């Protein structure tokens, strides 16, 4: 690798770090490998692209992968379609720094990339597509409540109303009592000072 290519890589690395600083979608795995999540976290059509630079990058194409666990719900045909469209963009940008360009191209064309991805599909680890059923929880787990003794329950019932809420003003300060205590302490310190 020549000095010129090292300089280009270093400049692209610094540019990526400054552009995506604070962006939760961007992740630097190593100085030559990056991930970017296209779409919001809960979006069923969101996907993750991983770009790795080989030794001869940018003269040769970067390695683009969609094998991350995040992409398990995406069908293999849609993944291949996305990779093919990204490779067309790579061919157009060979010889230049293109990681930012690839991420932005994917962000701009997210809807086009994911148009063939069915929303209600479930894919297995081998990426074979199966039609899913509506969201039905496998088992209903009840939250365990803290077990209270009879005396604890009685004390709690005495403090709260029939809804289990504390009465209005339970933590209020009695202003008259508070002022009278302050007044007494003020006069006591005044008497001590005069003696």
**Strand partners of residue 65:** 50
Instruction: Find the range with the poorest average confidence among 2-6, 23-27, 32-36, 95-99.
Output: 2-6
The predicted model scores a pTM of 0.56
Answer yes or no: are the C-beta atoms of 36 and 99 closer than 8 Å: no
CA–CA separation, 109 and 115 (whole Å): 10
DSSP 148-165: --HHHHHHHHHHS-TTSP
pLDDT in tens, 61-80: 899 988 888 888 888 888 88
Q: Which domains does the chain have, with CATH numbers?
A: 3-131 (3.10.110.10), 150-194 (no CATH)
Q: How far apart are CA 143 and CA 187, in angstroms?
A: 56
What are the pLDDT digits (tens) for 93-151? 888 888 888 888 888 888 888 887 776 544 444 444 444 444 445 555 666 777 888 88
């Amino acid at each position: 690798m020549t000095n010129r290519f090292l300089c280009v890589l270093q400049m692209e690395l610094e540019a990526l770090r400054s552009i995506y600083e604070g962006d939760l979608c961007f992740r630097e795995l190593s100085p030559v490998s990056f991930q970017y999540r296209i779409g919001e976290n809960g979006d069923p059509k969101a996907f993750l692209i991983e770009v790795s630079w080989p030794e001869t990058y940018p003269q040769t194409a970067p390695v683009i992968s969609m094998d991350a666990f995040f992409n398990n719900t995406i069908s293999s045909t849609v993944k291949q379609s996305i990779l093919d469209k990204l490779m067309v963009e790579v061919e157009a940008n060979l010889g230049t720094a293109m990681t930012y360009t690839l991420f932005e191209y994917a962000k701009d064309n997210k809807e086009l990339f994911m148009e063939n991805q069915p929303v209600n599909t479930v894919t297995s680890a081998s990426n074979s597509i199966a039609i899913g059923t509506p969201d039905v929880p496998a088992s209903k787990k009840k939250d365990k409540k803290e077990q209270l003794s009879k005396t604890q329950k009685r004390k709690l019932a005495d403090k709260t109303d029939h809804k289990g809420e504390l009465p209005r003003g339970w933590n209020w300060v009695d202003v008259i009592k508070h002022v009278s205590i302050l007044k007494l302490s003020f006069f006591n310190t005044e008497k001590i000072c005069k003696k």
